[in-house]
Amino acid sequence: MATELSAWQPLGLYLLAILAFVLGVLALAHLVAPPRPRPIKDMPYESGVDPLGDARLRFDIRYYLIAVLFLLFDVELLFLYPWAVAAYADNGLPVALRDAAFLGVLVFLGLLIIGYLYEWAKGGFRWR
Amino acid sequence: MSVGDILFWIVGLMTALCAVMVVVTQHIVRCAIWLLFTLAGTAGLFFLLGLDFLGATQLFVYVGGTLVLVIFGVMLTATGPFLQLRAGAGEWAIAIIVGLLLYGLIALSWLFADWSKLPESALPDDPRQMYHTEQLGRALLGDTSVQPASELAGVPGSLGAADKASGKLQEPPKRQASAFLLPFEIVSVHLLVVLIGAAYLARAKRKRVVVAPRESL
Amino acid sequence: MDWLTIGLIIFVISWLQILCAYLIYLERKVAAWVQDRKGPNRVGPWGLFQPIADGLKFLFKEQVVPAHVHRFLYILAPSIAVITTMLAFAVVPFGPTDVPDPRQKRFIIAPNLDIGLLFIFAIASLNVYSIILGGWASNNKYSLLGSLRSAAQIISYEIPLALSVLGVIVLVGSLNLEHLLNEQARLGIGGWLIWYQPLGWLLFFASALAESNRLPFDLPEAEQELVGGYHTEYSGMKFAMFFLGEYTHVTTVSLLMVILYFGGWHFPFVAEFNANYPGATGVKVLVLWTKASLVILVIMLLRWTLPRFRFDQLMHLAWMGLVPLSLLNLLSVMIVRHWSLSPWLLLPCSVIILTAIPLLHRWKSRQLDWA
């Protein structure tokens, strides 16, 4: 592993420093602050009403659906990022290949847009 | 051992530890959190190996995307009896056997691979030079003059390497190295299929709403 | 081990603390000014020592961990908020990076990261866990509701955020923030990308506001309906950590916006690309932070200008408004770049898309809902 860690070494140090900072702050607050637990203080605050049952209820499947859509578009985007960097940069894609790449990306985006419109028409984005 | 090696070992061991915790933990939400650390640690390993874009992809798709799905799924189901997962002895046995088999497969392929046959260009001294996002993009779009070159046999879509100075297409190399343009489009079709599937899910939900009053939040 | 990096790290961490404390002070002053009040004015002249008093109070307040919470996740959630937002700051240049000797002066923690912008998005997307876990661990119905909404909101707005920036990347051809900045500065004021990407900027601004949970997108908190949303059960230092995360994120986003669209530290006549008069570096740093402060001020004023969205409106805006607009924006950039047209064409193009499409949307949206 002959990798030179020019960018990652400061980043790793920075991450360690942040971790130390967070732990330090939490520990300091824990040491300094007076612990005085009381039964009422330990209750969930639900606007003064005594909580009924567990709060971890089941929720709407639509949240799950949004996460699926997000994941899809995320993957799509990650394919577009290298294209966006390379496509028209000075030392990017050779000029001879640009037409083919343009068509390729148009097809890619076109398929995405077809799927998007289908999803829209089927009401996948409606929240009611 | 260089600083890079030490960092790599530390991150690798932590990731492995988190992976073990995923298996051992019985509380299902905590289990998902260990999975979060495992996946993030893997991204860290990619970063340390100089594979910047792959690391970012790991963070984006697995840590930021798939795991949100997993956690939503867990939170949807993690009520009452499903919160604690206790595996029986039989399940443990099967899991251990399957795990060892898979590990053995990886270990064997690592041991028996002839590393000397690897072309010099595949492992340059500094991967950072090789896997620039720009180069990835060029490879993705059909420029076969850059690494990583795909060598999928029989896949059309090779446009050949272009001569940079003249901008003309060179003769395709003897061993047909093909570009990633076709896989790129196939991925797009896959994603379209999933979008249609998601639309179907949404529609099924809407019909049910009309029939029954909702109990969920 | 180079001492410059270590010093820089210590400086950045403490600078972010001070900055966040005073941003909260500014937020309160702006709110007071809008509402014709005085705001904090007791501690020190004009209440300037208020942040210090607040910090001390956070430290000495009781660390309430209610009995009903999931302890480990309850403490983990605010930590994630701080760690991810502060880590994202590492690749943001907060001063000029083309200084002659980078060993002497450096205004970025991790220089020359090839995937800079992508790194920020990837790390910032992890912030969603602080909210999901905070809400779930609290075992409070308001918190859970708030965190669910917020998670859906954050992941939805990540898509238009990343899509809108693609236009900039196609124009410049790099993900490296230093490179993006220098390219604009090199071309002078005509190179500022706001001229070519006004629509992209607008989409970026809206999505970034939603990502940082600021009004009009502050559904996860929504004091009037959800008490405090995901941080109802938090107090003391852990509560402060959520806020530290939020204001750090606002700072990062403002700097990012200035770097991507407003030429970073470049300003005509004062801080040109090849300005090398004595003190030029200081002037550049000052220009960059002045621009960023203006953005922050706008964000704060927006809070008192726009009403909060309803949740369904919020989701519709992301998926049926911002996503198609950013796709069209990307297509226009693609076409201009492919046929090497003048980039100035993008300015009218943006205006047309921005005005025509919402009109079409209004007219068409009912017809598309045939399912």
Distance from C-alpha of C283 to C-alpha of C267, rounded to nearest angstrom: 10
* Chain B residues whose beta carbon lies within 8 Å of the beta carbon of residue C150: none
Residues C54 and C180 in one domain: no
Residue of A nearest to C164 (CA): A77
Mean pLDDT of chain B: 73
% chain B with pLDDT above 70 = 65
Q: What is the mean pLDDT of residues A77-94?
A: 83
**Any CB–CB contact under 8 A between A49 and chain C?**
no
Mean pLDDT of chain C: 84
- CA-nearest of C210, B202, C162 to A76 is C162
Q: Do C151 and B30 touch (CB under 8 A)?
A: no
% chain B with pLDDT above 90 = 16
pLDDT band at C62 (very low <50, low <70, confident <90, very high): confident
**Does residue B190 surpass a pLDDT of 70?**
yes
Q: Do C129 and B59 touch (CB under 8 A)?
A: no
* Chain B residues whose beta carbon lies within 8 Å of the beta carbon of residue A55: none
pLDDT band at C296 (very low <50, low <70, confident <90, very high): very high
Distance from C-alpha of C92 to C-alpha of C180, rounded to nearest angstrom: 11
**Does residue B121 surpass a pLDDT of 70?**
no
Reported ipTM exceeds the 0.95 cut = no
Which of B90-104, C46-60, C222-236, C301-315 is modeled with the greatest confidence? B90-104
Q: Determine the distance in angstroms separating the CA of B216 from the nearest CA of chain C, rounded to an integer.
A: 12
**Does residue B135 surpass a pLDDT of 60?**
yes
Neighbours of chain C (3+ CB pairs under 8 A): A, B
Q: Determine the distance in angstroms separating the CA of B205 from the nearest CA of chain A, rounded to an integer.
A: 8
* Chain B residues whose beta carbon lies within 8 Å of the beta carbon of residue A101: 141-142, 181
Which pLDDT does position C368 carry in this prediction? 52
Which pLDDT does position B123 carry in this prediction? 53
**Of B75-79, C30-34, C86-90, C345-349, which gets the smallest average pLDDT?**
B75-79
**Any CB–CB contact under 8 A between C128 and chain B?**
yes
Q: Among all chains, which residue has been given the structure tokens 């990886």?
A: B106
Residue of A nearest to C337 (CA): A88
Of B33, B53, B203, the CB nearest to C73: B33
Distance from C-alpha of A3 to C-alpha of B162, rounded to nearest angstrom: 30
Which residue would you say has higher pLDDT here, A51 or C176?
A: C176
Which pLDDT does position C112 carry in this prediction? 77
Read off the pLDDT of residues B11-66 as tens digits, 9 standing for 90 and up.
899 999 999 998 888 888 888 889 999 999 999 888 887 788 888 899 988 998 88
What CATH architecture applies to the domain B1-82?
Up-down Bundle (1.20)
Residues C344 and C206 in one domain: yes
Residue of A nearest to C239 (CA): A26
Read off the pLDDT of residues C317-332 as tens digits, 9 standing for 90 and up.
888 888 988 999 999 9
pLDDT band at C133 (very low <50, low <70, confident <90, very high): confident
Distance from C-alpha of C279 to C-alpha of C277, rounded to nearest angstrom: 6
Burial degree of A23 (CB within 10 A; 0-12, 13-18, 19+): exposed
How far lies C245's CA from each of B61, B151, C56, C161, C219, in Å? 23, 46, 18, 19, 17
Of B4, B78, B192, the CB nearest to A115: B192
* Chain A residues whose beta carbon lies within 8 Å of the beta carbon of residue C173: 84-90, 92
Burial degree of B153 (CB within 10 A; 0-12, 13-18, 19+): exposed
Question: Is residue C3 situated within a structural domain?
Answer: yes
**Of A6-10, B20-24, B32-36, C205-209, which gets the smallest average pLDDT?**
A6-10
Q: Determine the distance in angstroms separating the CA of A120 from the nearest CA of chain B, rounded to an integer.
A: 8
Question: What are the tokens at C206?
Answer: 């809206």
**Does residue B74 surpass a pLDDT of 70?**
yes
Enumerate the β-bridge partners of residue C267: C271
Which residue would you say has higher pLDDT here, C2 or A18?
A: A18
Helix (H/G/I), strand (E/B), else coil: C291: helix
- CA-nearest of C217, C285, C281 to C249 is C217
Q: Provide the number of CB pairs (under 8 Å) joining chain A to chain C.
A: 201
Q: What is the mean pLDDT of residues C60-66?
A: 82
Contact B30, C73 (CB under 8 A): yes
Distance from C-alpha of C308 to C-alpha of C8, rounded to nearest angstrom: 39
Which pLDDT does position B203 carry in this prediction? 66
Which residue would you say has higher pLDDT here, A124 or B82?
A: A124
**Of B26-40, B84-98, B137-151, C155-169, which gets the smallest average pLDDT?**
B137-151
Question: What are the tokens at B156?
Answer: 């059309």
Distance, C-alpha B196 to centroid of its chain:
23
Mean pLDDT of chain A: 80
How far lies C187's CA from each of A123, B142, C274, in Å? 46, 31, 11
Burial degree of C93 (CB within 10 A; 0-12, 13-18, 19+): buried
**Any CB–CB contact under 8 A between C226 and chain B?**
no
* Chain B residues whose beta carbon lies within 8 Å of the beta carbon of residue A86: 133-138, 140-141
Distance from C-alpha of B18 to C-alpha of B13, rounded to nearest angstrom: 9
- CA-nearest of C261, C253, C148 to C207 is C253
Domain containing C83 equals: 64-359
Which pLDDT does position C251 carry in this prediction? 92
How far lies B191's CA from each of A72, A79, A105, A111, C41, in Å? 7, 12, 14, 9, 57
Q: Do A13 and C5 touch (CB under 8 A)?
A: yes
**Any CB–CB contact under 8 A between A127 and chain B?**
no
Distance from C-alpha of C70 to C-alpha of A30, rounded to nearest angstrom: 17
Which residue would you say has higher pLDDT here, A69 or B215?
A: A69
Q: What is the CATH number of domain A8-50+59-121?
A: 1.20.58.1610
* Chain A residues whose beta carbon lies within 8 Å of the beta carbon of residue B148: none
Contact C218, C144 (CB under 8 A): no
Which of C19, C42, C60 lies at the terminal end of a domain, its last residue? C60
Question: Is residue C367 situated within a structural domain?
Answer: no
- CA-nearest of A125, A1, A107 to A68 is A125
What b/e string do you get for B118-141 counting C-beta neighbours within 10 Å, with b at 16 or more? eeeeeeeeebbebbbbbbbbbbbb
Residue C111: CB partners within 8 Å, gap ≥ 6?
A6, A7, A10, C97, C102, C178
Residues C81 and C27 in one domain: no
Total structural domains in chain C? Answer: 2
Which of A21-25, B109-113, B195-199, C64-68 is modeled with the greatest confidence? A21-25
Distance from C-alpha of C254 to C-alpha of C300, rounded to nearest angstrom: 12
Which pLDDT does position B128 carry in this prediction? 53
pLDDT band at C220 (very low <50, low <70, confident <90, very high): low
Residues C265 and C164 in one domain: yes
- DSSP per-residue letters across chain A: -----TTHHHHHHHHHHHHHHHHHHHHHHHHHSPP---TTTTS--STTSPP-S-S-----HHHHHHHHHHHHHHHHHHHHHHHHHHTTSTTSS-HHHHHHHHHHHHHHHHHHHHHHHHHHHTTTT---
**Of B130-139, B140-149, C64-73, C298-307, which gets the smallest average pLDDT?**
B140-149
Q: Do A36 and C62 touch (CB under 8 A)?
A: yes
Read off the pLDDT of residues C76-127 as tens digits, 9 standing for 90 and up.
999 999 999 999 998 888 888 766 665 666 788 877 788 888 999 999 888 8
Read off the pLDDT of residues C10-48 as tens digits, 9 standing for 90 and up.
989 999 999 999 999 998 899 899 999 888 888 888 888
How far lies B195's CA from each of A105, A125, C179, C315, in Å? 18, 12, 36, 17
Residue of B nearest to A95 (CA): B167
* Chain B residues whose beta carbon lies within 8 Å of the beta carbon of residue C115: 52-53, 56, 133
Which pLDDT does position C192 carry in this prediction? 87
Read off the pLDDT of residues A100-117 as tens digits, 9 standing for 90 and up.
888 888 988 999 899 888
Question: Is residue C369 situated within a structural domain?
Answer: no
How many C-alpha atoms does A14 have within 13 Å on its Cβ side?
27
* Chain C residues whose beta carbon lies within 8 Å of the beta carbon of residue A8: 110
